[in-house]
Amino acid sequence: MPMDRKKEIPYDERPDDGRGGKVVPMRLQKYLARAGVASRRASENLMTAGRVTVNGQVVSELGAKVDPLVDVVAVDGRQVYLEDRPVTLMLYKPEGVITTMKAQSARPIVADLVPVDRYPGLYPIGRLDADTTGLLLFSTDGQLGNRLLHPSCHVPKTYLAYLRDPLTTRGAEALRAGVELDDGPAQPAEVEFAGKGDRLVRITVREGRYHQVKRMFKAIGNRVLNLHRESFGSLVLGDLKPGEWRELVDDEVEALGHCKP
């Protein structure tokens, strides 16, 4: 059934979508997924079950398009809206998951764990190695990532590292002074023992170079066997379990955004 549409809006007059494009008509199931109703597949089921209306008419055809600027979409009689503000979230990255949004092999990737249907344009801010666990940020705000990853931003990132060999006093001092890496000296790190033994260490770095922490321990003749990121700036994982994510509240994003290189 053709949908009643009150007006057509020319492309030039459409607002930016905040992701480099304009707000344009889209398939209804995509709209529902982006509005956070359900995944695209589950949204299709809602449509075929006759639970979705557009401008008051039930729409069950999977090819139907809606204009977010004009059409009123409802599920079970309740209106749903598109998210139009930038979204930033933290994921507790589990072990064995690759930091990429595009699958290159059958290995699990972080894109499988975060709500990409609901927030298109979500991308990871920095990366954790596949065997590293812990706090990984994502955002739809490209500028936030650029700011936080800028070398002059110096956001402290704290890791728990479980080492092959005990950390020696001399090794700790070298890390605190700034060890030499093959792409230039590392900035001084904060280092302390994190458990009873001398192989579990908490280390805070303010850079984000490739394999940074592992290479720093290698430079003092040791080796990281397990690496976990506990915090990023003032953010900690809190009650999140491996594989879980949560959106940041405005104050948390604002606290991160104080870095302006």
User: Which residues are at the interface with ligand URA (CB under 6 A)?
Assistant: 128-129, 132, 211-214, 227
Q: Which is nearer to ligand URA, 34 or 214 (CB)?
A: 214
Q: Which is nearer to ligand URA, 64 or 128 (CB)?
A: 128
The neighbouring-strand residues paired with 161 are: 201, 227
- Token digits of residue 28: 């209804």
In whole angstroms, the minimum distance from the beta carbon of 102 to ligand URA comes to 19
Q: Which residues 6+ apart lie within 8 Å of 197 measured at CB?
A: 166
In whole angstroms, the minimum distance from the beta carbon of 247 to ligand URA comes to 23
Helices 169-177 and 212-219 cross at an angle (nearest 10°) of 130
Q: Which is nearer to ligand URA, 91 or 213 (CB)?
A: 213
In whole angstroms, the minimum distance from the beta carbon of 90 to ligand URA comes to 15
Please say if 129 is a catalytic residue.
yes
Q: Which is nearer to ligand URA, 120 or 123 (CB)?
A: 123
* CA–CA distance, 155 with 147 (Å, rounded to integer): 10
* CA–CA distance, 163 with 220 (Å, rounded to integer): 12
Catalytic pick from 17, 129, 165, 198? Answer: 129
Contact 34, 120 (CB under 8 A): yes
Q: What is the DSSP string of 89-147?
A: EEEEEPTT-BS-SS-SSSS-BGGGTS-TTTSTT-EEES---TTEEEEEEEES-HHHHHH
In whole angstroms, the minimum distance from the beta carbon of 227 to ligand URA comes to 6
Number of residues assigned to the chain = 261
Instruction: Tell me the three state secondary structure of residue 155.
Output: coil
Hey, what amino acid is at 65?
K
Q: Which is nearer to ligand URA, 35 or 213 (CB)?
A: 213
Q: DSSP character for 13?
A: G
Instruction: Tell me the three state secondary structure of residue 203.
Output: strand
Active site residues: 129
